[in-house]
Structure 1
């Protein structure tokens, strides 16, 4: 029996839909975990970067998160309003803005420490399978970004 030439157009055959729907499910899982910390998911991503590299510039943060600085600006302002971070101009170059954790922002790291383990348990994957899946997704992301950069 011949395959239907339109099988590739079925929703269940779409890699993009698998990634999209999984991303939505992840967001739903994270929401209550992050609400306990008073954070949204975009705020959590910024805090993850700052817990790893306190004092990073807004430009460096933009690169790490693969997001436009303009899109990050309102999220940074909300974190600053929550007294989790401070923005500091670089004295050597006023155009550079460093993001620095406040004591409150640093202490939030302890409260967030169990979130990755909770997410891993919920995923049904063991550490090795999760690492392998992450590597595969990153391979796809790098290939797509390379293609996008080549067409810009």
Structure 2
């Protein structure tokens, strides 16, 4: 009989394999936008953050959340500001640390990618799972995200 640890260990192995595979697929899917995979990760991270927090993110917050250096974040921010995908907002709590937010162009880009690229791909690849199964998976992922 398989013990609980073995089952959990298999779950984590499957999770990391799935994550790697989804990152490869994601990179190919966003290629037509002209953004690098890393820049897209930063953009979608800000989009998700703004949805819940109603504000942008600082360089330090992005670096911590994305597990990359502040210098790497700044490199991507510079390019995204030049492309007018991001904009800057003042941080009233700390004048030295700016908030980076999606510009109207960035919001339009995200909506376009979600509608025209991800929607059909996601629906097609999740068609064999019930809403209840997806919600249960979300419960597990939400828990793991809080560790």
Structure 1 unaligned residues grouped into runs of 5+: 146-152
Q: Which residue of 2 aligns with 1:119?
A: 122
* Distance 1:44-1:132 versus aligned 2 partners, 3 A rule: farther
Q: Find the residue that maps to 2:95 and give its secondary structure.
A: strand
Q: Which has the higher strand share?
A: 1
> What is the TM-score with the length of structure 1 in the denominator?
0.64
Q: Which residue of 2 aligns with 1:76?
A: 77
Shift of 1:21: 0.7
Structure 2 unaligned residues grouped into runs of 5+: none
2:31 pairs, out of 25, 30, 35, with 35
Paired residues, number:
134
> What is the TM-score with the length of structure 2 in the denominator?
0.66
* Distance 1:94-1:140 versus aligned 2 partners, 3 A rule: closer
Cα deviation, 1:30-83, whole Å, max 9, x if unaligned, reads 122211222344433432344452641316853994646625333323322332
Aligned-residue RMSD, C-alpha: 3.4
Q: Which residue of 1 aligns with 2:58?
A: 58
CA distance in 1, matches of 2:119, 2:129: 12
Query: In the TM superposition, what are the counterparts of 1:104-143 in structure 2 within 5 Å?
Result: 104-114=105-115, 115-123=118-126, 124-142=128-146
Shift of 1:111: 1.1
Shift of 1:23: 0.6
Q: Which residue of 2 aligns with 1:150?
A: none
Q: Find the residue that maps to 1:125 and give its secondary structure.
A: coil
Answer with 1 or 2: which has the greater Rg: 1
